[in-house]
Each structure stands twice: as structure tokens, then as C-alpha cells.
Structure 1
Amino acid sequence: MATDLAPPPTEASRKAKKQKAPRVPLGAAILRYRWLYLMLLPGLAYFVIFKYLPMYGLTIAFQDFVPFLGYSGSEWVGLKHFETLFAGGDFGMLFSNTMILAMLIFLIAFPMPIIVALMLNELRINVVKRSVQSLIYIPHFLSWTIVAGLTYILFSVDFGVIANWIHSVVGGGKVDYVAQADWFRPIIILQTVWKGTGWGTIIYLAALASVNTELYEAARMDGAGRWRQFWHVTLPAIRPTIVLMAILHSGHLLDQSFEQLWLLTNSLNREVANVFDTYTYYVGITQGGYSYATAVGLFKGTVGVLLIFGCNWLAKRLGQRGLF
């Protein structure tokens, strides 16, 4: 009786499969995919010109840089500026302000796109879903100057709409939310969530769209409700994306939006508003301390790189797929 079963693989066939494909010469590969390499050139040129070549300027962190003398004529001072940074009285204040704000953003603003994406994924009316998506995307395209202006309009003590409404409900004296130090961080978090949540949902919605629908059907056949499907199908499907975004976010832990903070900083809230980014601008631009400001920036960059490698190692140790 004839059978459709394929014969078992022989030793020769196994060896043939293990043999590597012949290597194509580099010139032939470039010629074959020349249009792809041509499209790669603008992006490559951007990174080389604006990202890698300027890194030579980091050398001034080890000099007493004088613009008129240039890189070669300025005096080398080694780690002098780093010693000044770590031994100075401002480092503790800058580090604590930066870390507190970074932790608040990570704990509150980072999960918001995930939560909103999961909520949008549960909507079954496409018109409503697309309308909500379009509305929450809009704040991303507004500059921080406009966002700061809206903040003053809403929370100013004189003509703030929300400030006056809170005063009418709670009573008591009026509160100047945009000037008091106690309200600086909540306002920054509120701005960050409002401006970035909608745009951040794009990545997670794309991850949710790639989930195999047969998994939901199998879960329903096993008697799983909406909550069980969410917990055992949806969340595991987007967990690699969440881990990847968390690793990338860790590299910017000491980076805060300079424009956002600077536009809301004043003499009354400067004690909590002064972070590494604003301090670098103040020291480097307004006071002309180019070398010292570069040392501060190099410290931030080094910490960011170490955090990325550390979080990537931790993710792999926990059984997740890392960044590299």
C-alpha cells in the first residue's frame, strides 16, 4: 500500500543541511542591494555628522577650555571638573531632584501608555477607537512652550481656570500652583502624562495588533473570561515590548526635558526645579563654564550607558528578551 510519509533523513542529508551557504563577496552584495544601501546613506550621514563627530568635543571636559585657543591650545586639567562636580555642594541637590523626578515619571508616566493601549484594545467600536486615538495623539505635536502657556492659563493664581474652580470648591486663600515648589513636580508629571501618553500608545497598540487571535479563541473555549484572557494572553504578548521600552527608558533616567522644566522654573521653585539639564545650561551658557558643563553632560551620558547595560543584563537574568 502506498504511503505519503517521507523517508527518514539520512546522515548525508543532515550534513548537507548543516553546510553553510556559500559566502557572497562584499562588493557583489553591495551591488545587488545597492538601492537599499543608497536609502541607508542619509540616516547614516545624519548619525555620523550630528551624533558621532561632535563627540570629539567631549575632550573639553578634561580641559580648561578657552574658545579663542581651541581644543589644541586649551590647558589639560584631567579630572579636575569631575572632582569639582562630585565635591561641590550642588551635586547632592541636583542628583536628588533629578532622581525624584525620574522615579515619579517612571512610576506614573511610563505605565500610562500601556494602560491606555490596553483600554483602547478592548474597544469594539472602531469609530470610537480611532476617534479617541486621534484625540490623544494631538498633544504630542504641541511644543513645550505652548504646553507651558496652557499650564499658566489653567493654574495661574490670577486668571487660572482650574485654579479658580478649585478655590471656589475648596475655599480658603488662592494658591499659586505654578509658583509654589510643592506643586512643581505634580504639574510636571501632569504635563508629561498629557503630552506623551497618546503618542506612546502607538508601540503598544502595534504589539497588541500582532497577537494571534487563535489564542483568544482557545482561551474562550477553555472557559476563560475577559479578565483571564487579558491576564494570560494579552499581557504575556506585550511583555517583551514593555521590557524593551523599560530598558530604553532607563538610559534617559538622568535626562529630563530641558524646555519643559526651564519654562516653569522661577525663583520660588528653583530648589526643586534645578536638575542636571537646567544646571548644565545655567553653568555652561550663562556663566561660560563650557568645560564644567561638558563634564556634567559626560557624567550623565556615562550613567545612562551603564543603566542600559545593567537593565539589559537584569532582563535576561529574569528570563526576558533583552535589547541586545
Structure 2
Amino acid sequence: MSSTRTIKANGINLFVQEEGDGPLILLCHGWPELSYSWRHQIPALAAAGYRVAAPDMRGFGRSEAPADISAYTIFDIVGDMVALVGALGERQAVIIGHDWGAPVAWHAALFRPDMFTAVAGLSVPPPFRGRGRPLDTLSAGGIDNFYWQYFQAPGVAEAELERDVALTMRTVLARGFSDPQSLFVAPGKGFLGAANSDLPLPSWLSEADLAEFIAAYRASGFRGGLNWYRNIDRNWGLTAPWQDAQIRQPALFIAGSEDAVVTGLIGAKRVQEMERVLPDLRRKLIIDGAGHWIQQERAAEVNAALIAFLREAAPRTA
């Protein structure tokens, strides 16, 4: 059984779920999620002989949410993961991330190859640092309604998403990002669009699971997670020293074939070309018919792929 505790790391309190013994595996969730999103992976990886730690990331769930927007840069968040490894009494770990957690994992491997010996990213390809600030690039391309842009003004998205947290979580998790149009905000509609409180849940998400997310977001609100988006351009500036750098550790990529994050024009190109950034990419697994919440939707296939990768890239010594 997994246990939970709050650990001081990088100056903030992180709520962490832990289970198992062996080489350390960090699991980094995305938005709008929690460590609970890894509920199928934590026991499976522990049973395979690994020590698993899954935090509520900075600004999410029961972890601390600093007030300052600038406290949510990629440096701060990777710093949390570096400090967490040390706080757990370890020097090295494999880092695995999904959605926003994937850029955290990729950048952790990029910044600290001495600590993060292997890396897996789910649903979001590795970083291709473009030649201009991401939000400026969108505007220059005539796009003004992408959800990243809608999330920028403090308080706007919070007001919409917190108005009815149950409706928000049902809409975002049940709808997912299978429709590319879900990434664009229609004028006057908000991020949720024509939300439907009777939207049926997919087979992989129970009402009890949904209730976990609803309770957590009613308590925390959405500000912390949204602040990650408000650092997108700042992150571009901070990562200038790693322009065209490669992540040389053993790497794994997993995504769903119906996930708009990887099927859109930019995402599809990044998936196709990721070997440029990942010269030791061991496997690129695109799970047919799966959507964005891949480790929840297709737990058995994701677990099997992760365990096979870990046995190869981070074998148990005992």
C-alpha cells in the first residue's frame, strides 16, 4: 500500500505518495491533475521492484502554492524535483512525466543528467526551443484564441474554472483533448465551451475517481496550475543556454493516437522528429485509439511499457 507525507523541498511543502523499494522513480503529473493521476502506476511500478514517489506538483492539490506568478518557472519546478530526490535520501532517479509533467521530466533530464539517469514523457514531446517566444509566435501567426493565451490574464480562467468545479473537472477529464478545437477558446465561450453536466464519464474514470479531483480542486482552486502557463515565455528566455541541446539519457515516449496535443501540425512534427533531441530514444509508443489522459485511459499498456523501459534503463542491482 502507498503511504503519503508532506516533504519540504526547494523551500516549499510537497505532498507525496510513496510506495516500494529499489531504484527511485519520480512521477510528475500535469494539468489539471494530481498525484492521484498515477494511481494505476504507483502500485504496478512498486510491485516491479522500484521505489515510487509521486508528488502533487508545485501549486497543485495538497502541495504548497506560492503567491508569486514568477515562482512557477521551469527552473523552480525542476528544482523541486531535484530537491525531492535529495529529501528522499537518494542521489539519482528516473523521472517520468505526463502532460505538463512531461516538460518537467524532459528539462530535469536536460539540466541534471548526473541525477536523472533515464526519462519518460507521456503525451507531450521533448522540448524544441523555437527562435521566438511561444506566445509572440502564436500572435505573429494570427492566432489569438489558443488556450495558452486565454490562461494568461490572472483571474480570468480561475473565475471560469472555479465557478462550478464539478462541471469543470467532468468536462476537462471526460472530454480531454481529442478534438483539436478544444485547444481553442471561442469568443465569449471560455475554455470549457458548451459544458454539459450530464456528460458521461469514459470507462477509465469512475465517479469516485472524479470525486477525488473535484474535492482537491475545490480546496486548492486553479491558480497554482494556471501559473505554470503564465511562465511559458519566461521559460523560453531562461532556457536559452540549452538551445539545440540533446537529452542523451535513455528515453521513452508514450502518447495516444487520438490526442490533439500530438496530432496537430506542431505536435505531429515534434513526434516525428524527436530523435533529434533524444538520440537514445528506446521506444516511441503511440497507443491506437487512446486520448490525452493516457496513463489513466490505458493503464495496462502504459505500465507494461514503463516497466520494460525501466528494466532496461534502470535495472535493479539486487
Tell me whether the two structures share a fold, i.e. TM-score over 0.5: no
**TM-score, scaled relative to structure 1:** 0.26
Q: TM-score, with normalisation over the residues of structure 2? A: 0.26
In our comparison, the structure showing a higher alpha carbon Rg is 1
More strand by share: 2
**Which one has the bigger helix percentage?**
1
